[in-house]
Amino acid sequence: MIQFPHKDLLYSKPIPVAFSSQIKEGPAKMLTVVKGDNVEAFDIKILKVMPNQQLTGRGLVIKVTDRKLIKLTGGIIQGMSGSPIIQNGRLVGAVTHVFINDPTHGYGVLAEWMLLESGILNNQEISRKIGVDFPGYFSNFIVFFIIFSNFFPKKDSRLHTSNMN
């Protein structure tokens, strides 16, 4: 278990997860490893948010804008799948695909979809936690913080990742 604050992490404490209604087109950061085991934050731009594309796993269109990353790798490369995407201090998603014809562009999966898919989060649970009953998809007013240091129970084997590059 990671203890906070931790001197080797980019963020000294856990960060909240953003719902699709909180994600905006514009600047963001991608956390990834280019050399060794040092996690670095690189500038990207969220070009499009597509909350209704859950079946495709492509909820974000992103563009690498960080000159250092482009110089080192040319953009998104194999092995970057799963790299977290952070915007305004919130986890918005993770890198999933690179555009074959332009490696500076790619897709990302929304963090809220990962929580739904894993069974960690559902509408009934949110309703119970905030004391509001609502039908269908997430409300703009829901704030749900995931504390990575102790939220995921060790016995929960439902979490999985897939590399789609």
CA dihedral defined by 116, 5, 143, 114, rounded to 10 degrees?
-10
Please check whether residue 125 lies inside any domain of the structure. no
In this predicted model, what pLDDT tens digit does every residue of 8-52 receive, in sequence order? 567 777 889 998 889 999 999 999 999 888 889 999 999 999 988
Whether pTM > 0.85 for this model: the answer is: no
Please check whether residue 143 lies inside any domain of the structure. no
Please check whether residue 107 lies inside any domain of the structure. yes
pLDDT band at 95 (very low <50, low <70, confident <90, very high): very high
Q: Which three-class secondary structure state does DSSP give residue 33?
A: strand
Please check whether residue 40 lies inside any domain of the structure. yes
Phi-psi group of 79: left, alpha or beta (phi > 0 → left; psi -120 to 50 → alpha; rest → beta):
left
Q: Are 107 and 114 in contact (CB under 8 A)?
A: no
Is it the case that residue 107 has pLDDT exceeding 90?
yes
Is it the case that residue 6 has pLDDT exceeding 80?
no
Residue 44 belongs to domain spanning = 20-116
pLDDT band at 7 (very low <50, low <70, confident <90, very high): low
Up-side HSE of residue 134: CA atoms within 13 Å toward CB?
16
Total count of domains within the chain: 1
Which domain CATH number covers 27? 2.40.10.10
pLDDT band at 155 (very low <50, low <70, confident <90, very high): very low
Please check whether residue 97 lies inside any domain of the structure. yes
Please check whether residue 81 lies inside any domain of the structure. yes
pLDDT band at 116 (very low <50, low <70, confident <90, very high): confident
- Does an H or E element contain 129, and which? helix 123-130
Least confident of 23-27, 54-58, 125-129: 125-129
Please check whether residue 131 lies inside any domain of the structure. no
Token pair for 54: 């859950």
Amino acid sitting at position 82: G
pLDDT of residue 120: 76
Higher pLDDT, 141 or 81: 81
Please check whether residue 69 lies inside any domain of the structure. yes
- 96-106: b (≥16 Cβ within 10 Å) or e: bbbeeeeebbb
- 13-46: b (≥16 Cβ within 10 Å) or e: ebbbbbbbebbeeeebbbbbeeeeeeebbbbbbb
